[in-house]
Amino acid sequence: MTTYGNHKAEDGRAQEHQEGGVGGEAEEDDLQAAEEHAHGAWQAGEQGQEAEVNEVELILQGGVELGYTLSSEERQPEELVGLARAAEDSGFAFALISDHYHPWTDRQGSSPFAWSVLGGIAAQTSRLRVGTGVTCPTIRYHPAIIAQAAATVARLMQGRFFLGVGSGESLNEHITGNTWPTPDVRQEMLEEAIEVIRMLHEGG
């Protein structure tokens, strides 16, 4: 079984981080954050739509914020940067960018490298919070690489970046040729990867 570091995940924490978890935070931290911001996801546009969004009035009710989905599988990198800027100009509070090697379908064509796109977004926005939705830090990436990438983008965005992690999908992550682990093994690997990322971010 492939693991990272010397610590295996405890069984009691195996469900702590699921696909779509945000920021590598512990479950209790996520619940606390949810009280402040109940993140709603808003995906604008269909495939083939112009790379811009209409201005919208965002009304915050009951702590709900509206976010924008940057679908790497449907857009080219320059379009994603432009859409992020348009989302900020339109008043969206945050955006999520998908991090996949393969698009979901052949029709979608390609899937840009999300971490390069994040650098472009950092240079073209000033208020929009942006996070990965989500990165799998175990198969295609080593967690140490994600720790460095996240720290770099966080520096560029000056507090506007958050790291979302998950256990991955075979379609998007199998490119390295490694055997695709079972769900329980992937959860253990994810737990260990989060420990590694946190340790490195703390200077370990």
39 is catalytic: no
Of the candidates 73, 185, 71, 198, the residue with the CA atom closest to the CA atom of residue 138: 185
Given the residues 52, 79, 169, 174, select the one marked as catalytic: 169
User: Is 100 in the active site?
Assistant: yes
**Contacts by residues 41-49 (CB-CB < 8 Å, ≥ 24 positions apart):** 41/67, 41/69, 41/96, 42/66, 42/67, 42/68, 42/69, 42/92, 43/68, 43/69, 43/71, 44/68, 44/69, 47/74, 47/107, 47/108
Catalytic site residue from 100, 188, 191, 192: 100
Tokens standing for residue 69? 């989905």
| Active-site residue list | 100, 169
